[in-house]
Amino acid sequence: MIQIIRKIPGIKWLYTLFWHSFARHLQRVRYSQPVVENVNGVPLRVLPQVMPPKLFRTGAYLASILTPELIPSGSQILDMGTGTGIVSIFTASRASRVVAVDINPEAVRCTQINVTRHLLEDKIDVRHGDLFESVGAETFDRIIFNPPFLKGTPSTPFEQALYGGDTIERFCSEAKQYLKENGEILLLLSTLAEVEQILTIARKKGFSIDLLSEKHYINESLMLYRFRP
């Protein structure tokens, strides 16, 4: 039934428009002040202008599927577009070190608050920057990215987590040099995005791609992909 609904002409556009409007409304009403969200029993402070992990489900879903098989013990992790720091916090118990990066200064501040709250300052290094600009020459076993995969131009820091412009293409162009030998990228996408276009970009940049996990909702599916050089 869900698949039939999704094939209705124009339904993807309508769903996307609805979720954009819904997110903006919630950001103005519910998230105009700091709140705390609990994800799998882990409390996370969410500041205004930072994407909540449960709002579009992506952050909470990604954190829930980062199993020991995907994050081997002792891994060095780059959490790209960290937001509230949810991925960093959920992987810190298995990683030897995590670098958390975000272009949004409020997201950097939010992540630092959550890292401090969970006593993970010695494990998680939080940095401000656009993609890899604050990473230097470091390399990682895993780069985990919940990207802004919708088409459009952000008008607020909050919307930088939604509308990516050329972000994914730039990411795919630069990411290889930041992977250790046998390193992998774990990238989350939604069927609200232009998935095949994004995967084509990644293949043209020399990545092989595997679908690792998929979860269906009435308006979209979320998919976790593994990119290997």
CATH number of the domain that residue 135 is part of = 3.40.50.150
**How far apart are the C-alpha atoms of 132 and 129, rounded to whole Å?**
7
User: What is the number of other CB atoms lying within 10 angstroms of the CB of residue 186?
Assistant: 22
Report the range of poorest mean pLDDT among 9-18, 21-30, 83-92, 98-107. 9-18
When pLDDT is cut at 50, 70 and 90, the band that residue 17 belongs to is low
CA distance 195 to 187: 11
Provide the β-strand partners of residue 140.
179
Question: Is residue 20 scored above 90 in pLDDT?
Answer: no
| pLDDT score recorded for residue 6 | 44
Report the Cα 110 to chain-centroid distance in Å: 15
Of the chain, the percentage scoring pLDDT greater than 90 comes to 62
**In 3-state terms, what secondary structure has residue 120?**
coil
Q: Are 87 and 62 in contact (CB under 8 A)?
A: yes
| 113-135 pLDDT per residue, tens | 999 999 999 999 999 999 999 99
Question: Which residue range forms the structural domain that includes residue 215?
Answer: 2-228
196 pLDDT tier (thresholds 50, 70, 90): very high
How far is the C-alpha of 126 from the C-alpha of 103, rounded, in Å?
11
Number of domains making up the chain: 1
∠ CA(135), CA(140), CA(146), 5° rounding?
A: 75
Inform me whether the pLDDT recorded for 1 exceeds 60.
no
What's this model's pTM, rounded to 2 decimal places? 0.85
Examine the pLDDT at 176 and tell me if it is beyond 50. Answer: yes
Question: What distance in Å separates the CA atoms of residue 152 and residue 154, rounded to the nearest whole number?
Answer: 7
